[in-house]
Amino acid sequence: MEEQIEKVLISEEELKKRVSQLGEEITKDYRGKDLLIIGIFKGAVPFLADLIRHIKIPLRYDFMAVSSYGSATRSSGAVRILKDLDTSVEDVHVLIVEDIVDTGLTLKYLKENLSRRHPQSLKVITLLDKPERREVDVQPDYNGFVIPNEFVVGYGLDFNEIFRNLPYIGILKPEAYEK
């Protein structure tokens, strides 16, 4: 698996440090508030698991799965819910946890969908942000790293479902796509 990685973009140490800083920020911003963290399957799972252990206030978490519109490619931008929440978000402070914001289409859909359910507040944290690729006007409230327009894998991010278990964020060798 690792022989298919061209370059490590964000190391395991850098991830650890930044995730811990983000946890501290969220602890500060949400103290005294009823916090519900919503992880987006599947990519956000490692980030969520590490992040919550740096948040030092009570919280609950739940997950949603949405359809993606083609792995590395573009398409219509239509997003669909595959798994909805088990919990109500009404009157609670919701923080969506995403792996990456790319075109922004998924996040825009999620924000619109969840805001119709009347949370007390609705914010977004993403590990990675690729602003060059944005097609709709949507910004994360917290962001781990701004990255260039490269297809990345690792730490939850996949290529054809593989590479999610890499402990760092890497860029694939072109041969890996061509197989």
Residues with catalytic annotation? 102
Q: Would you count residue 102 as binding ligand 5GP (CB under 6 A)? A: yes
Q: Quick one: CA torsion of 2, 5, 9, 11, rounded to 10 degrees?
A: 10
| Count of positions on this chain that bind ligand 5GP (CB under 6 A) | 18
105 belongs to the binding site for ligand 5GP (CB under 6 A): yes
Check residue 171 for interaction with ligand 5GP (CB under 6 A): no
Chain positions 70 to 89 lying near ligand 5GP, rule: CB under 6 A, are none
Contacts of 85 (CB under 8 A, 6+ apart): 38, 62, 63, 64
110 is a contact residue toward ligand 5GP (CB under 6 A)? no
In whole angstroms, what separates CA 43 from the centre of its chain? 6
**Which residue, 44, 45, 27, 43, is CA-closest to 35?**
27
State residue 120 phi and psi, 5-degree precision: -70, -35
Minimum Å distance from CB 58 to ligand 5GP? Answer: 28
Q: Which of 92, 157, 169, 176 binds ligand 5GP (CB under 6 A)?
A: 157
Q: What does DSSP assign to residue 162?
A: B
- Please select the residue that binds ligand 5GP; options are 19, 22, 43, 64, rule is CB under 6 A: 43
Q: Is the dihedral of CA 145, 151, 155, 156 positive or negative?
A: positive
Q: Which of 87, 70, 88 is nearest to 79 (CA)?
A: 70
Among 9-17, 50-58, 95-103, 115-123, which window interacts with ligand 5GP (CB under 6 A)? 95-103
Query: Nearer to ligand 5GP by C-beta: 96 or 107?
Result: 107
Among 10, 94, 101, 176, binds ligand 5GP (CB under 6 A): 101
Stretch of 13-21, 26-34, 49-57, 92-100 lying at the interface with ligand 5GP (CB under 6 A): 92-100
**How many angstroms separate the CA atoms of 175 and 6, rounded?**
10
Q: Which residues bind ligand 5GP (CB under 6 A)?
A: 43, 68, 98-107, 151-153, 157-159
